[in-house]
Amino acid sequence: MYDFLLLASFLTFLATSVFYLRHPSACIMHPATFYLAFHGLVFAFRPILARVYDFGFVYRLYDFQPSMSDKITVILATNLAMIVFVAASLYVAPRLPVALEPDRFEAARASMKRPVLAVCALLAPFAIWSQLGNWQRQADNYGSMIRDLSTGAAINTDAIGWFTDAALILAPITVLLIWLAKFRWWSWGLFLAFVVLQGGGGTRGPIIYTAVAIGILALLEYRRRWVDWRAAGLAVLAILTFNQIVTDRGASLRGLAGQAGEADYATNFELSPFEGMDFANLEYFEYIVYAVPQRTGTYDYFASNLQIFTEPVPRVFWKDKPVGSPVQYFSLWDYGTPIGMTASLPGQGWMALGYLGVAIQALFFALLYSVALRFLLGSRATPLRQILYALIIATAINVFRDGTIVTFARQAPFYIGPFLMVLMLKRILSPPVTHLALAGEGPVADFLAQPPGERRRILAAQSDPHDRRPGV
């Protein structure tokens, strides 16, 4: 029965993907593409590997064994999330992004050069200092962190999260500088330097985030729907880097600087392909179904989202700050040892309200990202709006994996905040007319939105006092 359901799930994924690819709005920057890629890897392809290789690492680590009913529930719920997400995002964003003329990017870069360089000069030293501190903490096995025994969450004891996470600012800085350099070959040295700095800290997400954002911007500027060889090469580099950092959590890079520390769990176990915890959202979801509501007796009712209000306050200033959400109906640690668990979008929805919660969670994030696409890449698209969209949609990878709005809110100040600072500085430095043109507002923007030939015709007509054609 389970084998048949796995096959049916995989065929459902293929059918949904084919339907999507035949839709007029299908392109790599559409939110549906991101969710189908996520679902296809962790909930369609990997479950088949788990069955073939008989994955058991997470079950032993978490000290639980799901029933066949639990496993079936997970397959059904993940497919429900996929269908709801794809349908909602296609309904809200049913068209391709608007293609912009090349000269609009030249004008945008000319106006953005000073603000981008100024913000990078201001923030980069602080971000690099933060990342080097993360190197030291990783080499010391997170000496400033302790694990709360009731929730399993790692919390800061003598550091401020805003400072330790400031290293994430290097991601949007790298994106902006490579965009400003027009993706020239030498600008990729910046990406390589970023990979080395980020990789030594043992974290992989920012590298994938940066690669995705750069790829999206390049495809938008080159007016392509799908990847070309440049984006494919960047993806391969990011995947290879991700795999190496997964293996030793940056110990190899730290070893070059004399701070080797210890490698991660993966070096201590013989794991089958894709059996590691970085791709184990299937087992994590099975643990959630195993516990909620069968053993907890209740759902979460979306109370975990209340953490968004307590998260910004550093623990050093609030000694009694709750670990996690200020309102908790249960602790998953009462039923096993779910260390390092990421619930995933459908898993978080199930924990909130079962199948209905899965549908609500998928609908919420589909609206979040598809509204961003429609607003930023629609009829009033500009190069600057394209940058903002790339910085937003690249967060989807971590958000789908964790499944919470807290993840998005936690990343936004570091991934999107620097660009908002650039826009504020640009508003100060730019003359009013230039600002209107580049922001996509006013008659100047309407003029620039015309094809080059049409703009020449309008200018020629305006210089001829005898031309009385309508609209001139």
Express each pLDDT in 257-309 by its tens digit: 555 555 554 455 678 888 888 889 999 999 999 999 999 999 999 999 999 99
Report the distance separating Cα 284 and Cα 58, nearest Å. Answer: 8
Gyration radius of the chain's alpha carbons: 24
Please, what's the b/e burial string for 350-373 (b: 16 or more CB within 10 A of its CB; e: otherwise)? bbbbbeebbbebbbbbbbbbbebb
| Mean pLDDT of the region 57-74 | 95
Report the distance separating Cα 419 and Cα 425, nearest Å. Answer: 10
pTM for the full model?
0.85
Please, what's the b/e burial string for 396-424 (b: 16 or more CB within 10 A of its CB; e: otherwise)? bbbbbbbbbbbbbbbbebbbbbbbebbbe
Summarize pLDDT for 305-324 with one digit per residue, the tens. Answer: 999 998 888 777 777 788 78
Domain boundaries, the chain: 2-439, 441-472
Report the distance separating Cα 67 and Cα 35, nearest Å. Answer: 27
Report the distance separating Cα 148 and Cα 154, nearest Å. Answer: 6
Stronger pLDDT, 454 or 221, i.e. the higher one: 221
Summarize pLDDT for 110-119 with one digit per residue, the tens. Answer: 999 999 999 9
Report the distance separating Cα 234 and Cα 212, nearest Å. Answer: 9
Query: Taking the mean position of all CA atoms in its chain, how far away is CA 388?
Result: 13
Please state, rounded to an integer, the average pLDDT across all residues of the chain. Answer: 84
Vertex 146 angle, CA 144 and 148, to 5°: 155
Residue 1: CB atoms within 10 Å:
8
Q: Which amino acid is at 414?
A: F
Residues with Cβ within 8 Å of 264's Cβ and at least 6 positions away in sequence, in order, are 202, 246, 247, 248, 249, 251
Residues with Cβ within 8 Å of 385's Cβ and at least 6 positions away in sequence, in order, are 376, 377, 440
Report the distance separating Cα 470 and Cα 462, nearest Å. Answer: 12
